[in-house]
Structure 1
Amino acid sequence: MTKNILTLFIAFLQIGSFSIGGGYAIIPLIQEQVVNSYNWLTLQEYTDIITISQMTPGPLVVNTASFVGIRLAGISGAVAATLGSILAGFIISILLYKFFHKYKNIHSISNVLKGLRSSSVGLIASAASTIILIAFIGSDSLDSKGTSVNIAAIIMFTLSMFLLRKYKLNPMLIIGLTGAVGLFIY
Structure 2
Amino acid sequence: MTNLLKLFISFLKIGGFSFGGGYAMLPLIEKEIIDIHGWMTASEFIDILAVVEMTPGPIAINSATFIGYKVAGVWGSVVATLAVILPSIVIILIIAHFLSKFKDSLYVEWAFRGIRPVVLGLILSASIGVSKNAFIDFKSVIIGGVLFYLISFKKLHPILGIVIAGTIGALVY
Superposition TM-score, scaled by structure 1 size: 0.86
Q: Which residue of 2 aligns with 1:52?
A: 51
Q: Which amino acid aligns with 1:173?
A: L
Q: Residue 164 of structure 1 contacts residue 170 of structure 1 at CA under 8 Å; is this kept in 2?
A: yes
**Relative to 1, partners in 2 of residues 1:102 and 1:21: Cα closer, same or farther, differing over 3 Å?**
farther
Are 1:122 and 2:128 matched, yes or no? no
Q: How far off is 1:72 after superposition? A: 2.2
Partner residue, 1:165: 152
Partner of 2:142: 155
Distance 1:97 1:121, change over 3 A: farther
Aligned residue pair count = 173
Return the letter of the residue paired with 2:9: I
Aligned residue type for 2:145:
T
Q: Verify: 1:37 aligned to 2:36, yes or no.
A: yes
Structure 1 residues 85-120: Cα deviation after superposition (integer angstroms, max 9, x where no partner): 111111112223444443121212111111101110
**Percent identity of equivalent pairs:** 38
Q: TM-score of the superposition, structure 2-length normalised?
A: 0.92
Q: Does 1:176 align with 2:163?
A: yes
Unaligned runs of 5+ in 2: none
RMSD: 1.7
Between 66-75 and 96-105, report the one with greater CA deviation. Answer: 96-105
Partner of 1:146: none
Q: Please state how far the C-alpha of 1:80 moved relative to its aligned partner.
A: 1.0
